[in-house]
A and B are shown apart, each in its own frame.
Chain A
Amino acid sequence: MHVLSVRDLRKRYVLGESAVQALDGIDLTLERGEFVAIMGPSGSGKSTFMQIAGMLDTPTSGEYLFEGADVSSLNADARAAIRSRRLGFVFQAYNLLPRTTALDNVELPMVYAGVPDAQRRQTALEKMTLVGVDRLADHHPNQMSGGQQQRVAIARALVNDPALILADEPTGALDTKTSADVMRILARLNEEQGSTIMLVTHEPDIAAYAGRIVTFRDGRIVADVRNDRRAA
């Protein structure tokens, strides 16, 4: 079964008088266990696609099957319910809650998914161990480096065992060495845990960690290639 399958997906933004066709007929299928990088210049529609794939937004038209179910016309609450159970997000700006411990940050998605207290703690610590930040459990975001914060954010994306992890420019705010650390963690999760990952980036070095590279331009897919020489 496909994790994600879209057919003729379109998104049109109307800004006052002018309209922008952000997505202009996207067809894409993601298999379980794939690690896909979405590339393209700014304005190519890759972020818009990421938001629709992450059910933060809805398409103007087209079909979106997530784990076999049509989700293109679900209401906000139904989409929120899927996000809390089946999707994991990693953002460029980490987006950890300030003045909140790393552990509590990692537990957050489980709060909304209704996971019991004790299990939340255990799962959060497990995932933090997986990405190597378990010893930072009691730290607040302002006591952590950017790389550490992003790893905590990755742990947060893992706690609900999502069908798909969406990473939007996860290394955009990091230096080269830390970027490589974060990318190695994602690659390892993909290989060892079988996590399905969709990564948005405009840096070829970063995209090189993925097994498949899809290039967007002007709201269309212009290239979809297998990457056999993955960076490590």
Chain B
Amino acid sequence: MTLRATLRLALAALVRNKARSLLTMLGIVIGVAAVIVTVAIGAGARISVQSSIDSLGSNLIVVQPGSVTTSGARSGFGGASTLTPADGMAIASLPGVASVSPVVTVRTQVVAGGNNWQTTVSGVAPTYTFVRLQSVASGRFFSQNEVASSAKVAVLGQTVVDQLFPNGGSPLGSTIIVKGAPFSVIGVMTPLGQSAMGQDQDDTVLIPYTSAMERLTGETTVNSLLVSAASSDDVDLAQQEITQLLEQRHRIVPPQGDDFQVRNLQSIAQAASQTSAVMEFLLAGVAAVSLLVGGIGIMNIMMVSVTERTREIGLRMAVGAPGRTILHQFLTESIVLATIGGFIGVAIGLAGTALVALLARWPTAVPFQWVVASVVFAALVGIFFGYAPARKAASLHPIEALRFE
């Protein structure tokens, strides 16, 4: 018998028992829908973690001073004052490094006209925009010359603009007072929104790091150095180079510990995306178990169906159906059931995913390979669990089957 003829026989048998066919495929429908929704949510979570990490900067490496021990109390990393702009210059000339910006941060009150606002004032270099992948929305960023001359110029984050200039209008050309020193506003940064940790990344004022050191901190050291590796492949290499270079420059010899710390966000990103990948597989595993249960459901109903249709099988055999044709028919029935169930499951899964995205505002993504995989898996479940009932049907003896009451 041809495949097409067998398929038609199976379809006719399934249509004859619509209600039972639908109930039989329910397990597969729910299983596949569960796989699609869980995978979509898992993949969405991973993508959003990745993109919030990407938003921190390109191939970012952070160099912070080490801890310092004062009267037995050890400060955390960044407590020591060991990093200088000169360290930053040296790092910038390393082959694996694209650019470097020193960061000097001071949390202080900023005043403009009648408004004031406490914010983080960061002294940085012009390379900061490149390292953080952030551009200027209006006006301009300060130049290398303005850094060299410790110019009193400032670029504001959007939150600061909103708080200090609540009446709207461009803040460009206005003057803000930081710790008694007037800075003229020359630019506004494009908003970044919240960081992965929930910090408002736009609540900031950027000034040349030289100005920050001279006028705000009065120190010759910086809080951190933001380094951008030449490429994402170079991050680990750059990290090693920086460590070696700073050990040399700071004259650190073992067993003395480093007085600085080099961290790269790539490892954080990897850990985060690995965590969500594990979650994704775990969820998919749970969903796959429900698919398996759906398969057992198919096997049960097909077994019952074979018993119930014993006389039909006997008749088909009597009028000339060989055993293997009966086997093929029942096997095809369960494959068709499972596959249709798989497609319905995908449709419901996609709808459910859209609903989750809409109602819970949860980021979702449906990886195409999972859609294909779950339909294929459903079909395999149909073959696997349909075989035993089909075998049973094919092994019936026509006379006994015809006599079956």
Q: Is the CB of A80 within 8 A of B322?
A: yes
Q: Is A122 in contact with chain B by the CB < 8 A criterion?
A: no
Query: Is B312 part of the contact surface with A, judged by Cβ < 8 Å?
Result: yes
Find the B residue at minimum CB distance from A76.
B323
Residues of B within 8 A of A57 (CB): 399
B326 to chain A, nearest CB (A): 10
- Judging by beta carbons under 8 Å apart, are B320 and A81 in contact? yes
On chain B, the number of residues with a Cβ less than 8 Å from chain A's Cβ atoms is 23
Determine the distance from Cα of A80 to Cα of B402 in the docked complex, in whole angstroms. 15
Report whether B321 and A80 are in contact in the complex, using a CB–CB cutoff of 8 Å.
yes
Name which of B311, B318, B322, B399 has the most chain A CB atoms within 10 A of its CB.
Answer: B318
Q: Is the CB of B320 within 8 A of A83?
A: yes
What is the chain A residue whose CB lies nearest that of B314?
A95
The reply to whether B399 and A112 form a contact with Cβ atoms under 8 Å apart is no
Q: Known interface pairs A56-B398, A80-B322, A95-B311. Does A108 touch B1 (Cβ–Cβ under 8 Å)?
A: no
B16 and A95 within 8 A (CB): no
A residues within 8 A CB of B319?
83-84, 89, 108-109, 112, 156
Contact call A54/B1, Cβ cutoff below 8 A: no
- Chain A residues with CB under 8 A of B314: 95
In the complex, whether B317 has a CB less than 8 A from a CB of chain A is: yes
Interface size class of A (residues with CB under 8 A): 20 to 34
A54–B398 CA distance with the chains assembled, in angstroms:
11
Contacts of B316 in A (CB 8 A): 108, 112
A77 interfacial by beta-carbon distance below 8 Å: yes
Give the interface centre of B12, B320, B402 by most chain A CB atoms within 10 Å.
Answer: B320
User: Residue A64 at the B interface, CB < 8 A?
Assistant: no
Number of A-B pairs, beta carbon distance below 8 Å:
64
Decide yes or no whether B243 CB sits under 8 A from chain A: no
Inter-subunit contact A114/B323 (CB<8 Å): no
**B248 interface residue, CB < 8 Å from A?**
no
- Contact assessment for A77 and B323 in the assembled complex, using a CB-CB cutoff below 8 Å: yes
- Decide yes or no: A76 and B322 within 8 Å by CB, A56-B398, A95-B402, A99-B17 being known contacts: yes
In angstroms, Cα B1 to Cα A111, docked, is 9
Q: Which residues of A contact B325 (CB under 8 A)?
A: 112
A91 within 8 A of B: yes
Residues of B within 8 A of A108 (CB): 315-316, 319
Q: CA of A113 to CA of B319 in the docked complex: distance in angstroms?
A: 9
Alpha-carbon separation in the docked complex, A127 to B317 (Å): 21
When distances are taken between beta carbons in the complex, the residues of chain A under 8 Å from B402 are: 56, 91, 95
Distance in angstroms between the alpha carbons of A56 and B1 in the assembled complex: 20
CA distance A98 to B16 in the complex (A): 8
Report yes or no: A112 in contact with B318, Cβ–Cβ below 8 A: no
Closest to A54 in B: B318
Taken together as a complex, chains A and B put the C-alpha atoms of A186 and B349 apart, in Å, by: 58
Q: A56 to B312, Cβ gap below 8 A?
A: no
* A143 on the B face (CB < 8 A): no
Cβ of B5 within 8 Å of any chain A Cβ, yes or no, is: yes
- Chain B residues in 8 Å Cβ range of A51: 399
Residues of B within 8 A of A77 (CB): 322-324
CB-CB nearest in chain B for A100 = B16
Interface string of A75-91 (1 = CB under 8 A from B): 01100110111000101
Please name 7 pairs of A and B residues whose Cβ atoms are closer than 8 Å in the assembled complex, sorted by A.
Answer: A76-B323, A77-B324, A84-B320, A84-B321, A95-B402, A108-B319, A112-B321
A→B interface (CB under 8 Å) = 51, 54, 56-57, 76-77, 80-81, 83-85, 89, 91, 93, 95, 97-100, 104, 108-109, 111-114, 156
Inter-chain pairs besides A56-B399, A91-B315, 12 sampled, C-beta below 8 Å: A51-B399, A57-B399, A80-B322, A84-B320, A91-B402, A95-B314, A97-B16, A99-B16, A108-B315, A108-B319, A112-B320, A112-B322
Top 9 closest A-B pairs, CB basis?
A84-B320, A109-B319, A112-B320, A80-B322, A99-B16, A77-B322, A83-B320, A95-B315, A112-B321
